[in-house]
Structure 1
Amino acid sequence: MKTYLVPIDFSEAAFNAAHYAAQLSHQTDVERIILINAYYVSPYESLLPNADMIMLRESEVEEEAGIRIGQLETLKYTLQSRVREGVVIQTRLHHSHLLRAVVDAVAQNSVGLVILGSIGNSTVREKNIGIGSHVIAISKTCPVPVMVVPPAYKYQRINTALVACDFKKVKGSVPAEALHKLLDKRDIKLLVVHAVAKGKQGVANAETLAEETALHQMLKDLKPEYHYISDPEIIKGVLNFAVEKGAQIVIALPHTYSFLQSILHNSISQQLAASSPVPVLLLK
């Protein structure tokens, strides 16, 4: 993960995510952080008047673009004193919708991780509509891991990471290589939680259950602790457990049963954005 991409819509949540990325650089081997703003102006806005009979002129579009570039550069200057020495910060203004901007930037810049605020991040001339649209779309479409940072969360060094999954349904879905890249050779404690809905059959020992699955072999080099939780609201249960154990990040696995699969439903995503006490890393 040598390059981070941070979408910026000039909201407080986006600024917070950018500051998080800068401070995270002290704990990772990132070499470059790209701040990107998606500035999309529909052709109709420049060719046809809106309901108020106002039509955008090319000079107005260019002026707005210049303002946005200036704001990105100001943020870059602020972050420069917060990153690890040697980390380069770059800015981009992309003339398209946010999702297209992110996907293109990932491909063109060998981005390894996208970091964004859990609310905001709307394309320029749209109202901020929260996590229900943009975060979900990026999480689904982006080919690299996505880290979602709660708007009020302030960076804390990652000492404990929590992975939540159903041990019985993991099979080959654990991106062990990505987990090793994130955790290997770093002093990070890994908690692996078998999370099921309350009322389902429990387990006598979480580690014993894990040993019967492919999960144990995949993660044994990371020396994880195995835990079991049962809660009628699985996401709430996982987040509460993360707080209880002092975890600084929750890692969501793709495929089969996973945290990611659950949060891609709009209502649950909005709940996560409002209540998650720590950043959530969506692996691919």
Structure 2
Amino acid sequence: MKKILVPTDFSKNAYAALIYVSKLFSDEALQITILHSFSDEVGKLTSRVDIGRSESIIDKLYKQSDEDGKKLIDQIKLDSSKVTHDYELLSTPASLSKSINSLVASEGIDLVVMGSKGRTGAEDVLVGSTTIKITKSLEGCPLLVVPNKVNFVIPSNIGFATDYNDFYQLSKLKPILRLVRQYSSTIHLVHVGSQTKLTPKQEQNLEQYKNNLTEYDTDFHFISKTESVSKTLHNFIDSNSIDLLALVYHKHAFLKKLFREPVVNRVGKHTHTPTLVIPITN
């Protein structure tokens, strides 16, 4: 059974992520763990009180989280009555990033799914801070960032942004290929830049991708940069009806060497297309 972890702050944005992943894997049974961290609330409420009151406050936060979680699970079961997923809630006073990594390591989580914004709805609450923090610290598990405005559609067209400076074996790209096989999707490898300007190393990696992806329906795109790489990718998503965009997060390669801009942050702000981020550490 596939194990999915969905952090929540009980906002509409977090619920959109939960709905999306429930539908994305509607044909298979999932174990979906809904994780609520009230670490920030603990810090705010206990900074000026004694230890005894701190424990009382934490107990109240656990109780409130359990009540909100029960309502959430009842609602998701109603909204996804045709699927047979198992849902459970975990509440913790520990930080979100620490809790996620601990669960990924101990429970064998296959995918973490987050909304692109938090309860406040501010543009940068999750996109520019929490989600990126999770991306940088997450190990051994992909992260799916789901915009609040997303309407679920079968991901028939899956974009994979690459600079071809690195070649990743298909075993590293399993989160993409599983979806491709499930939905008979087309993979669109998109490179911001001209094919004629590829270095010999980039050309070699391009050929390796072509050779390794022969069993899949694959298109290769080379597009001119307009304003910024993230803006260019946004335009590509819209003009090619991309249903999901995948990125490899490799802090020593993709983001730092070519883009010179926080691409994961900015692409994650796309208002209607989910972004799948695959952290690779070596």
* TM-score normalised per structure 2: 0.80
1:274 matched to which residue of 2?
269
Q: 2:186 aligns with which of 173, 186, 189?
A: 189
Q: 2:129 aligns with which of 122, 128, 133?
A: 133
Please give the residue correspondences for 1:71-110 in structure 2 after superposition, counting only pairs within 5 Å: 71-81=68-78, 82=80, 84-110=82-108
- 1:250 aligned onto 2:249: no
- 1:217 aligned onto 2:211: yes
- Alpha carbons of 1:263 and 1:112: their partners in 2 closer, same or farther (altered >3 Å)? farther
Which is further off, 235-244 or 113-122? 113-122
2:33 matched to which residue of 1?
34
Please give the residue correspondences for 1:1-284 in structure 2 after superposition, counting only pairs within 5 Å: 2-26=2-26, 29-40=28-39, 46=46, 48-49=48-49, 56-81=53-78, 82=80, 84-120=82-118, 129-143=125-139, 144-167=141-164, 169-172=165-168, 175-196=172-193, 202=196, 213-232=207-226, 233-255=228-250, 257-258=253-254, 268=263, 270-284=265-279
- Report the alpha carbon displacement of residue 177 of structure 1 after superposing the two structures with TM: 3.6
Matches of 1:33 and 1:261, distance apart in 2: 36
Matches of 2:36 and 2:127, distance apart in 1: 17
- Alpha carbons of 1:138 and 1:235: their partners in 2 closer, same or farther (altered >3 Å)? same
- Alpha carbons of 1:42 and 1:78: their partners in 2 closer, same or farther (altered >3 Å)? closer
- Is there any run of 5+ residues in structure 2 with no aligned partner, and where? none
- Alpha carbons of 1:265 and 1:221: their partners in 2 closer, same or farther (altered >3 Å)? same
- Alpha carbons of 1:165 and 1:58: their partners in 2 closer, same or farther (altered >3 Å)? same
SS in 1 for 2:73: helix
- Report the alpha carbon displacement of residue 17 of structure 1 after superposing the two structures with TM: 1.0
* TM-score normalised per structure 1: 0.80
- Report the alpha carbon displacement of residue 84 of structure 1 after superposing the two structures with TM: 4.8
- Is there any run of 5+ residues in structure 1 with no aligned partner, and where? 123-127
- Report the alpha carbon displacement of residue 212 of structure 1 after superposing the two structures with TM: 5.4
- Alpha carbons of 1:64 and 1:137: their partners in 2 closer, same or farther (altered >3 Å)? same
| Structure with greater helix share of residues | 2
Q: What percentage of residue pairs aligned between the two structures are identical? A: 18
- Alpha carbons of 1:78 and 1:118: their partners in 2 closer, same or farther (altered >3 Å)? same
- Report the alpha carbon displacement of residue 25 of structure 1 after superposing the two structures with TM: 2.2
Residue deviations 1:49-79, cap 9 Å, x none? Answer: 39xxxx9453333122211111111111111
Residue deviations 1:114-156, cap 9 Å, x none? Answer: 000112279xxxxx93322210111112120000111221222
Q: RMSD of the TM alignment (CA)? A: 3.2
- Report the alpha carbon displacement of residue 99 of structure 1 after superposing the two structures with TM: 0.6
